[in-house]
A and B are shown apart, each in its own frame.
Chain A
Amino acid sequence: MELQSESISAIQNAPLEDNGTGSARRAWARNHLPIIVVSIGIAVVLIGGWQLSGRYLNPITISTPSEILRSIPKTFLHGPYGSLVSALGVTMIDFGLGFLGALVIGTSLGLAIGNSRVARNILDPLVALGNSSPTIALLPLMIIWFGFGHSSRVLFITVVSMWGMAINTAVGARKARERYEDLIPAFSVPPRMYLTSVVVPGSMPFIFAGIRVSLAHSLVATIISGQEIGSSGIGGLAQLYGDQFKTNDLFGVIVVTTIIALVLYRVIEFLRNRICNWVNYS
Chain B
Amino acid sequence: METREIAVAAHDVTKIFHSNELTVTALQNVSIDVHTGEFVSLVGPSGCGKTTLLRIIGGLTNPTRGSVETLPLADGSPRKMSFVFQDVNLLPWRSVLRNVEFGLEPISAISKSERKERSMAALKKVGLDSFALSPPFTLSGGMQQRVGLARALAVEPDVLLMDEPFGALDNFTREGLQEQLAQLWEDMGTTIIFVTHDIDEAIFLSTEIVLLRSNPGRLVEVLPDGLPPKRWTYDVRSEPAAVTLHRHVRTSLSGRNYDAPPAVPTT
Is there direct touching of A and B in the complex, by C-beta distance under 8 Å?
yes
Q: Which of A5, A14, A16, A19 contacts B47 (CB 8 A)?
A: A5
Contact code string B204-227 (vs A, CB < 8 Å = 1, else 0) = 000000000011000000000000
A-B contacts counted at CB < 8 A amount to 47
On whether A9 and B17 interact (CB within 8 A), knowing A3-B24, A3-B215, A18-B64, the answer reads no
Contact code string B21-63 (vs A, CB < 8 Å = 1, else 0) = 0101010000000000000000001111000100000000110
On whether A5 and B17 interact (CB within 8 A), knowing A11-B24, A12-B24, the answer reads no
State whether B47 touches A18 (Cβ < 8 A).
no
Task: Report the interface size class on chain A.
Answer: 10 to 19
Interface size on B, residues (CB 8 A): 19
State whether B18 touches A8 (Cβ < 8 A).
no
B-contacting residues, A1-25, CB 8 Å: 2-3, 5-6, 8-9, 11-12, 14, 16-20, 24
State whether A20 touches B64 (Cβ < 8 A).
yes
On whether A8 and B64 interact (CB within 8 A), knowing A3-B24, A16-B18, A18-B17, the answer reads no
B171 proximal to A (CB < 8 A): no
Instruction: Give Cα A21–Cα B150 distance, bound, in whole angstroms.
Output: 40
Chain B's nearest CB lies how many Å from the CB of A109? 35
B241 proximal to A (CB < 8 A): no
Chain A's nearest CB lies how many Å from the CB of B253? 11
Instruction: Give Cα A16–Cα B19 distance, bound, in whole angstroms.
Output: 5
Instruction: Give Cα A11–Cα B62 distance, bound, in whole angstroms.
Output: 18
Residue of A nearest to B52 (CB): A12
**Looking at chain B's contact residues, is the secondary structure mostly helix, strand, loop, or mixed?**
loop
State whether B18 touches A17 (Cβ < 8 A).
yes
**Which residues of the partner chain B approach A9 to less than 8 Å between Cβ atoms?**
46-47
Chain B's nearest CB lies how many Å from the CB of A234? 43
**Which residues of the partner chain B approach A18 to less than 8 Å between Cβ atoms?**
15-18, 61-62, 64
Instruction: Give Cα A11–Cα B23 distance, bound, in whole angstroms.
Output: 10
Instruction: Give Cα A6–Cα B64 distance, bound, in whole angstroms.
Output: 22
**Which residues of the partner chain B approach A8 to less than 8 Å between Cβ atoms?**
24, 26, 46-47, 214-215
**Which residues of the partner chain A approach B215 to less than 8 Å between Cβ atoms?**
2-3, 5, 8
**Which residues of the partner chain B approach A14 to less than 8 Å between Cβ atoms?**
19
**Which residues of the partner chain B approach A12 to less than 8 Å between Cβ atoms?**
17, 24, 26, 47, 52
Q: Which of B52, B64, B214 contacts A5 (CB 8 A)?
A: B214
B20 proximal to A (CB < 8 A): yes
Residue of A nearest to B17 (CB): A16
Instruction: Give Cα A165–Cα B89 distance, bound, in whole angstroms.
Output: 36
Contact code string A58-96 (vs B, CB < 8 Å = 1, else 0) = 000000000000000000000000000000000000000
**Which residues of the partner chain A approach B47 to less than 8 Å between Cβ atoms?**
5-6, 8-9, 12
Q: Which of B18, B26, B46 contacts A6 (CB 8 A)?
A: B46
Chain B's nearest CB lies how many Å from the CB of A120? 29
Residue of B nearest to A19 (CB): B18
Instruction: Give Cα A269–Cα B45 distance, bound, in whole angstroms.
Output: 40
On whether A5 and B46 interact (CB within 8 A), knowing A11-B17, A18-B16, the answer reads yes
Instruction: Give Cα A17–Cα B18 distance, bound, in whole angstroms.
Output: 6
**Which residues of the partner chain B approach A5 to less than 8 Å between Cβ atoms?**
45-48, 214-215
**Which residues of the partner chain A approach B17 to less than 8 Å between Cβ atoms?**
11-12, 16, 18
Residue of B nearest to A24 (CB): B20
Instruction: Give Cα A17–Cα B20 distance, bound, in whole angstroms.
Output: 9
Instruction: Give Cα A14–Cα B15 distance, bound, in whole angstroms.
Output: 16
**Which residues of the partner chain B approach A24 to less than 8 Å between Cβ atoms?**
18, 20
**Which residues of the partner chain B approach A6 to less than 8 Å between Cβ atoms?**
46-47
Instruction: Give Cα A199–Cα B22 distance, bound, in whole angstroms.
Output: 37
Instruction: Give Cα A19–Cα B64 distance, bound, in whole angstroms.
Output: 8
Query: What are 28 A-to-B residue pairs whose CB atoms are below 8 Å?
Result: A2-B215, A3-B22, A5-B45, A5-B46, A5-B47, A5-B48, A5-B214, A5-B215, A6-B46, A8-B26, A8-B46, A8-B214, A8-B215, A9-B47, A11-B19, A11-B24, A12-B24, A12-B26, A12-B47, A12-B52, A14-B19, A16-B17, A17-B18, A18-B15, A18-B16, A18-B17, A18-B62, A24-B18
Residues of B at the A interface (CB closer than 8 Å) are 15-20, 22, 24, 26, 45-48, 52, 61-62, 64, 214-215
Top 3 A-B pairs ranked by shortest CB distance? A8-B47, A5-B47, A9-B46
New A-B pairs, 14, CB < 8 Å, besides A11-B22, A18-B16: A3-B215, A5-B48, A5-B214, A6-B46, A8-B46, A9-B47, A11-B19, A11-B24, A12-B24, A16-B17, A17-B18, A18-B62, A18-B64, A27-B18
